[in-house]
Structure 1
Amino acid sequence: MFDNLAQYSVEFLTIASVHLLAVASPGPDFAVVLKHSVSFGRRAAMLTSVGVGLAILVHVAYSLLGIGILIQSTPGLFQILSYAAAAYLFYIGWGALKSKPSQDPDQQAADLSKQTISDKKAFWTGFLTNGLNPKATLFFLSVFAVVVSAQTPNSIKLLYGIYLAGATTLWFCTLSYCLSSVSVREFLSSKGYWFDRVMGVVLILLAIKLVLPT
């Protein structure tokens, strides 16, 4: 199998290029990783990023199994997925929107260090944010239906999927590392409740966008 990888190089480079443009575009994944980077620190943001990356394998799996075509061709099912994703983003956004200012500004740095989230919750927040995103569903359907040839073996398609998951994880882990630095966190958290509220509005707007007709 690996001896024949060269013949799929053009296909792979096309997928990698399209994926780079998609993953770099601001969306729910970026918003959640940014929020966790600033609010909870590097470890939480990294775990959130890993969750986002592993969720890519879910999209790859149903694309390879043909379930993605069923989702796309069944308006009711796709609509349910859209509403589930929107409800989840709205839930996260609403929680951030209710953030309140610290009574003592001098306690801001101390409050920042005390904010925590469990490893499990950080991971699943990232996983569900990407896994439920119908825009990601459409992206992978497009990639595997248009870019990838029907003659490409599933083993090669699986390698594509592993690359996409790994590249997504690396991208968001890099963002997490940069955004969770002490200087960045302190700057964005100087008015921490305003940052949370802004991120809450962004997440709610993304939720609304998911259910609006295109």
Structure 2
Amino acid sequence: MENFYLFVITCIFLIILPGPDTAIMTKNTLTVGKQGGFKTMLGICCALSIHTFTAIVGLSAIIAKSALLFSIFKYIGSVYLIYLGIKSLWTLRNKNTTETIEPIAKSKYKNESSFKQGFLTNLLNPKIAVF
């Protein structure tokens, strides 16, 4: 019970501070539309269910205690986020300045998998695994 209040304060900060899930959700909703945001949310929820399962089994505790495994998660997640950022910037750089966001959503992001982006962004987030 002595760590309960510290846990509650940590939970509050983790909830109110935006993270990669919020960023990818906002990006996909703005670029693809409501359907893209919904698919991203489903991907995030599927990844959260995997994190919940690993916590139940005890794998999250192993990841949290092992500096090597935690670093692997951290670096793979970072590389994936950098990839998504560069890909987004490249798309912005190549778009025609006369286009609005609707033609971008219909042409550039037509084949993008919002579900996959939400899933991988959450699954590779070490903060979720530790928490």
Question: TM-score per shorter chain, which class?
Answer: 0.7 to 0.9
In structure 1, what is the equivalent of residue 86 of structure 2? Answer: 94
Indicate the structure (1 or 2) with the bigger Cα radius of gyration.
1
Distance in 1, matches of 2:69 and 2:84, equals: 23
| Conserved? CA contact 2:61–2:130, under 8 Å | no
Distance in 2, matches of 1:17 and 1:57, equals: 24
- Match 2:122 to one of 118, 126, 130: 130
| Conserved? CA contact 2:63–2:130, under 8 Å | no
User: How many angstroms does 1:73 deviate by?
Assistant: 1.4
Residues 113 and 20 of structure 1, relative CA distance in 2, 3 Å threshold: same
Cα deviation, 1:11-69, whole Å, max 9, x if unaligned, reads: 9xxx9997665344211000001101111111011100111112111111111111111
Structure-2-length-normalised TM-score = 0.80
In structure 1, what is the equivalent of residue 65 of structure 2? Answer: 73
| Conserved? CA contact 1:102–1:108, under 8 Å | no
Distance in 2, matches of 1:110 and 1:46, equals: 17
Question: How many residues are paired up?
Answer: 124
Distance in 2, matches of 1:81 and 1:109, equals: 34
Q: Over aligned residues, Cα RMSD in angstroms?
A: 2.5
Structure-1-length-normalised TM-score = 0.51
Query: Unaligned regions of 5+ residues in structure 1, if any?
Result: 1-10, 140-214
Residues 65 and 34 of structure 1, relative CA distance in 2, 3 Å threshold: same
Identity %: 27
Is 1:32 aligned to residue 24 of structure 2? yes
Moved over 6 A (4+): 15-18
> Counterparts in 2 of 1:1-214, with a 5 A limit?
22-98=14-90, 99-100=92-93, 102-103=95-96, 105=98, 107-108=99-100, 111-115=103-107, 116-118=109-111, 121-139=113-131
Distance in 1, matches of 2:27 and 2:73, equals: 24
